[in-house]
Structure 1
C-alpha cells in the first residue's frame, strides 16, 4: 500500500519541478542511437557476457563458472508528487533490469540529485525512505551512493545482482515460432500525464502505484525455464520500442496481437481525450518507420503502443510448448494481468507488425 505523504504548504508539487517524469525522461531512441554511435569500438574483455551491442537491460560480467555479475543503473525525475511513492517507483524500476536478465539483486547504491533550496530535507528523506522500502522488499541493502545539488529532483539506483551464466536471458535471443508474453498492463505514461493535469482519480492513482511498485520478481524463475529464450522489460521506449529491440537483435519479426494487450483501467479513454505524454510522440517519430500498423489503427491505440512505461512488465519470448509454465510463474508471482500478446515470425519487411482485431 502507498503511504501517502502530504507535501508541505511552502513546497511545490514534485512533478512541477521536472520537465518529464519517470521513464518518459529518457532521451528519444533516435537521439540516443546517435549519441552512442561509435562507443561499441571500446575493447571488450571475454568476461563481459552482455554489453551495449543490443541495448540490453543490464551489463553482465562473468565472475566464475557459476556466477555472473549483473550491473545496471536507472534514475529519473518525479512521475508522482508523493515523495515516498516517487522513491518506491524509481527503486522498483531500477531493480527491474536485474530481474529482466534473469538475475537476483544483491545490493544497490542510491543516486540522488535534489534542488536543496526548493525541497525540504524531510521531503528528500521521504524519497530515500521510499526507495529503501522497495530494496527491503527485494531483500537487499542500499550500501552507499552519491548525492548532488540539482536543478530538478532526480532519484534512482545502481542495482547489482547475480545470475548463473547459463541462465542469462538477453533481449536478442528470440526464436521463430516463439510466443510473446507480457507481465504487466500498459498505460502508466497516460496515467502520469493525467496526474500532471489533475485529471487522475484516486482509484487511477492507486492502480498506477500498484503497477509501478510491483517488483518483477518472476525474472529468475522464468530464466530457469528452458523454453524461455529471451526477456526484457518494457520501460521508456514503450511496448513497441522494446519489442523492436527484441526483433532487431534476433533478426526476426515480432507480431503483436493488439486486442490481447492488457491495459490499465481507463487509459484508453484518457488517450482518446489526448491525455498522453510527449515521449509517446517522440518514440513514434524515432521508430514508427519500422512498425506495420492496421489501416484503421486508432490514434489512441498508437499512443498506447508507444506509451512510455515506468517500472513496466517483463516481455518474454518463449517456445509455444512452455507458455503454460511461463504463465504459471507469472501467476504464482502475483502478476494477474500477464497475457499472451503475440508471436515471433521470420524476418519480414518490418521488424514489428501489429495485428488488428479479427
Structure 2
C-alpha cells in the first residue's frame, strides 16, 4: 500500500488547521448566518441558534429535555489515539456546558484513506471510544467519508431536566465569572506544529484537552449558577462576549487572575500564536477594551482558540465557594474567579 513508509506519520501535516482553530472566524460566521432564512421555531425548542449557545435543547416532557450537539475538526496533534481522545472530549463538552448528562454519541469520520494506514485511522476511532467509555456512553453509529484532510468528531446527545438547563444568555449583574481550565491550548498547538514543544508541554496539553467537563452536571443543580458555556475556538473573549450579548450586559475580567497552562505566556511572547487568534481579534476586538498595560502576549492568550477548553460559569457571588469546590472535587484544581458581570454596553473590559 502506498501509505507504508519508514517515516512516522504526522497527522498535523495533512491539515491546514487543527482542533478548534479550524472554526470559521466569528466575523465570517456571523455574515453567513445573517443571510440564512428564518424558519418556524417550535415551542418545545428551548435553546436554538439565537444566542450562539453550545447545544440545542428540545423539551420532551415536563421531566426531560434532549440536548443535541456536534463537533469535529482536523488533527491538533500527530498521535492518532490522542487526536481521537481530544476530539471526543471536545464534542461531549457541549452537553456538560448545558448542564446535561450525555447518553450516546455518533462518530463523524473523514479520512484520506489512500494516504493514511488503516491502523492509524483505527487508532483515531479507538481514542474517541476510550473517552466515550469514560463518559459512560456508547458510540451507537456514525458516518464515514473519504476526505482530503483527516476529520474526526462526534454527534452527542444528552438529557437534562428542563428546569436545570444552563444557557449562555442568563448572566446577571453582579455575577462572578469562574473559568474551569487554564488557557493556552492553541499556543501549545502552534509550538507543536513547529516541533519545538517539549514532552512536559505536550503532556500538559493532552491532560487539559482530554479532561471531561463533568462538573457541569453538578453545577446545573445550583439555582445560583445563572449562565454557563465552554471556551473553545473563539477564545475566552469570544465566548464571554456571547454571554454578554445574550444577557445584554458587560463584563470585567482581570488578566492576572486567569489560569494559564505552564510556559504558554513565554511561548506567546516568542511568537507561537495561531492564525485563528488574530482572526478572532479582528472579528470582535472592537467590543473589547484592553488596559494599556495588557501585553501582546496576554492579548493573544485571551483570543487563543481553546480545543476542549474549560467551562465558563456566571454565578451569584455567594455561590463562588460552592462552585469552586465542585470544580475541585472533579479534579479541576486550577479553576479560578476571573472577573464579574456588570451593567453597561456589550463590552468586555480587561485589566492587568
The TM-score range, normalised by the shorter chain, is over 0.9
2: CA distance, partners of 1:270 / 1:114: 31
2:349 maps to 1:353:
yes
1:292-303 pair list within 5 angstroms = 292-303=289-300
- The CA deviation string for residues 139-180 of structure 1, in whole angstroms up to 9 with x for no partner, is 000000000000000000000000100000000000000000
- TM-score normalised over the length of structure 1: 0.96
Match of 2:251 in 1: 254
Secondary structure in 1 matching 2:261: coil
The offset of 1:115, in angstroms, is 0.1
Output the aligned Cα RMSD. 1.0
Match of 2:109 in 1: 112
Match of 1:27 in 2: 24
Secondary structure in 1 matching 2:281: helix
Q: Residue 74 of structure 1 contacts residue 157 of structure 1 at CA under 8 Å; is this kept in 2?
A: yes
Match of 1:4 in 2: none
Q: Residue 11 of structure 1 contacts residue 118 of structure 1 at CA under 8 Å; is this kept in 2?
A: no
The offset of 1:37, in angstroms, is 1.0
Q: Residue 234 of structure 1 contacts residue 312 of structure 1 at CA under 8 Å; is this kept in 2?
A: yes
2:160 maps to 1:142:
no
Q: Residue 107 of structure 2 contacts residue 152 of structure 2 at CA under 8 Å; is this kept in 1?
A: yes
Q: Residue 70 of structure 1 contacts residue 161 of structure 1 at CA under 8 Å; is this kept in 2?
A: yes
Match of 1:339 in 2: 336
Change (3 A) 1:121 1:46: same
Q: Residue 294 of structure 2 contacts residue 351 of structure 2 at CA under 8 Å; is this kept in 1?
A: no
1:1-150 pair list within 5 angstroms = 9-10=6-7, 12-39=9-36, 41-150=38-147
2:319 maps to 1:322:
yes
Which of 220, 231, 237 is equivalent to 1:234?
231
2: CA distance, partners of 1:80 / 1:277: 14
2: CA distance, partners of 1:254 / 1:242: 12
- The CA deviation string for residues 276-326 of structure 1, in whole angstroms up to 9 with x for no partner, is 100000000000000000012211000000000000000000000110110
- The CA deviation string for residues 157-207 of structure 1, in whole angstroms up to 9 with x for no partner, is 000000100000000000000000000000000000000000100000001
Match of 1:279 in 2: 276
2: CA distance, partners of 1:330 / 1:210: 16
2: CA distance, partners of 1:27 / 1:94: 17
Change (3 A) 1:291 1:22: same
2: CA distance, partners of 1:286 / 1:14: 29
Q: Residue 180 of structure 1 contacts residue 342 of structure 1 at CA under 8 Å; is this kept in 2?
A: yes
The offset of 1:8, in angstroms, is 6.2
Q: Name the stretch that deviates more: 104-113 or 10-19.
A: 10-19
1: CA distance, partners of 2:291 / 2:161: 41
The offset of 1:12, in angstroms, is 3.6
2: CA distance, partners of 1:164 / 1:307: 33
2: CA distance, partners of 1:293 / 1:138: 38
Q: Residue 40 of structure 1 contacts residue 52 of structure 1 at CA under 8 Å; is this kept in 2?
A: no
2: CA distance, partners of 1:147 / 1:120: 16
2: CA distance, partners of 1:154 / 1:9: 24
How many residues in Structure 1 have an aligned counterpart in Structure 2?
349
Secondary structure in 1 matching 2:172: coil
Q: Residue 20 of structure 1 contacts residue 77 of structure 1 at CA under 8 Å; is this kept in 2?
A: yes
1:189-268 pair list within 5 angstroms = 189-268=186-265
Q: Residue 109 of structure 1 contacts residue 159 of structure 1 at CA under 8 Å; is this kept in 2?
A: yes
Match of 1:154 in 2: 151
